[in-house]
Chain A
């Protein structure tokens, strides 16, 4: 596990700036909120002199145990050397405000999250699938997508087994 050089407690800043409900854990440096409040949070992250989170190092999504989707952002301030992880709960309509308005690094990472989870990012300049074909109609990293039920993979295994049986028979004869 990495040792972080500056462990700043942001609870005062967040309490002062956010009028909505949020949950902040200073020990783990994790902020949890609803995705609809993200634009307000992004504005604070870049503009507040106590935060200055200028580097979005990672952005992804995850699925909770009950099928609830979350987007996860990892920030670091290259100037003040502190970090913050933001976990935002995605609403039912699967639309999340984009982070590209502040950080260009979010561009491809949001396309990836859209590709893998089907989360649409409102305001993204070019929201297309990044790895898979546009014609694909599933979102592979959702838990409802089962790897062993993909027809191709199963077929290949079955076909190989058949071939092995044929070969074994031939060897016997």
Chain B
């Protein structure tokens, strides 16, 4: 088969012709660093990883099939359990797919509220990633710093929607409840200190020489490999590809907002780390802009309780916390979807793990897996 892409030749550097027997090691499914129930069968030559074969499906719940017997409004809370760390994005995914096969106009205020929630969710999800990634790389303190900050966002979500993890907030036609003065005050207070908080985190961790030595030039994924393997989100951008759906295939009110896309250089663990940190800053900036421009008016348009969509098929996508979250919806004009397929970002990002790890030491496996930021619910659907 023709070579599709070039990867750094780490394996060739470490390989020698001394014969040693391959070691096959099982990691997981019950393992604290696999972030859920993931089984990795690692083949290694001594301590050097030769190949990895992930086994999926321990958490498979058949959500696509269940979606076919439920109505659109019932599907939203169902899919929020898919990627429970960015439930707002999952809710928005089903909503935008249904809305693009309906003749309704979403009020501008609702679009602004949605973007505020989506970006806050991105910060919350990245903070959780920071907590677990730091744990994976051997530091315990950042966990408390990150979760303390995430708690403030979760409190804001509770104020707006009443729930702390799975919100069922974004729905066809708009959002479930309007945001009030108390929410806006809390949001302003959060944004006021958030950048300073990130500076503190970066002082604490990003500039740490031990961490940099640990993360630099580890788990390199080349630009061509990243594109060919279909990875998305911070992993793709960490490999130096300028591709952000919010910018290049915009939805909602993103074209009116002003923000940058961070891009890595080497595609190593450190680049993915820095990309996520910069994304948090940009997300806070987007929230600030959306908050300033928040128009008055309705927060939801009138939609019948049981939604019917037009006949047709559509592929909608958005930039979720972990990457491209796509939804392919086929409707026969009825109350429930004929076929609803979701392209989970973690699934394809995990598919690049074997390519990323080949040639690196066994001890690097956990930090590389941590840098991909998978949620097993999202991988297994």
Interface string of A95-125 (1 = CB under 8 A from B): 0000001111111110000001000000000
Q: Select one of A78, A105, A116 contacting B64, CB under 8 A.
A: A116
Tell me the bound Cα distance from A85 to B312 in angstroms: 14
Tell me the bound Cα distance from A39 to B76 in angstroms: 37
Q: Which of B132-140, B168-176, B227-235 touches A?
A: B227-235
Q: Which of B38-46, B295-303, B313-321 touches A?
A: B313-321
Tell me the bound Cα distance from A132 to B348 in angstroms: 18
B-chain residues with CB within 8 Å of residue A72 when the two chains form the complex? 328, 341
User: What's the minimum C-beta distance from A90 to chain B, rounded to whole angstroms?
Assistant: 14
Q: Select one of A1, A62, A102, A148 contacting B314, CB under 8 A.
A: A1
A-chain residues with CB within 8 Å of residue B64 when the two chains form the complex? 116, 141
Q: Select one of B4, B57, B241, B316 contacting A131, CB under 8 A.
A: B57
Task: Establish whether residues A105 and B251, one from each chain, have CB atoms under 8 Å apart when the complex forms.
Answer: no
Task: Establish whether residues A74 and B380, one from each chain, have CB atoms under 8 Å apart when the complex forms.
Answer: no
24 contacts between A and B (CB under 8 A): A1-B96, A3-B249, A3-B251, A4-B249, A57-B317, A57-B343, A62-B341, A74-B315, A78-B227, A78-B243, A85-B315, A105-B228, A105-B229, A105-B348, A106-B230, A108-B347, A108-B348, A131-B56, A131-B57, A131-B60, A131-B380, A140-B65, A147-B66, A148-B69
Which B residues are within 8 Å of any A CB, using their own CB?
A: 1, 4, 56-57, 60, 62, 64-66, 68-69, 96, 99-100, 227-232, 241, 243, 245, 248-251, 255, 313-318, 324, 326, 328, 330, 332, 338-339, 341, 343, 347-348, 351, 355, 380-381
Instruction: Contacts A55-B227, A104-B351 known; list 16 others, CB within 8 Å.
Output: A2-B317, A3-B249, A3-B251, A54-B228, A57-B324, A58-B328, A60-B341, A60-B343, A62-B338, A74-B343, A78-B241, A104-B4, A104-B355, A145-B65, A147-B69, A148-B69
Which A residues are within 8 Å of any B CB, using their own CB?
A: 1-5, 54-58, 60, 62-63, 65, 72, 74, 78, 81, 83, 85, 101-109, 116, 129-132, 140-141, 145, 147-148
4 smallest A-B Cβ distances: which pairs? A105-B230, A131-B57, A1-B100, A131-B60
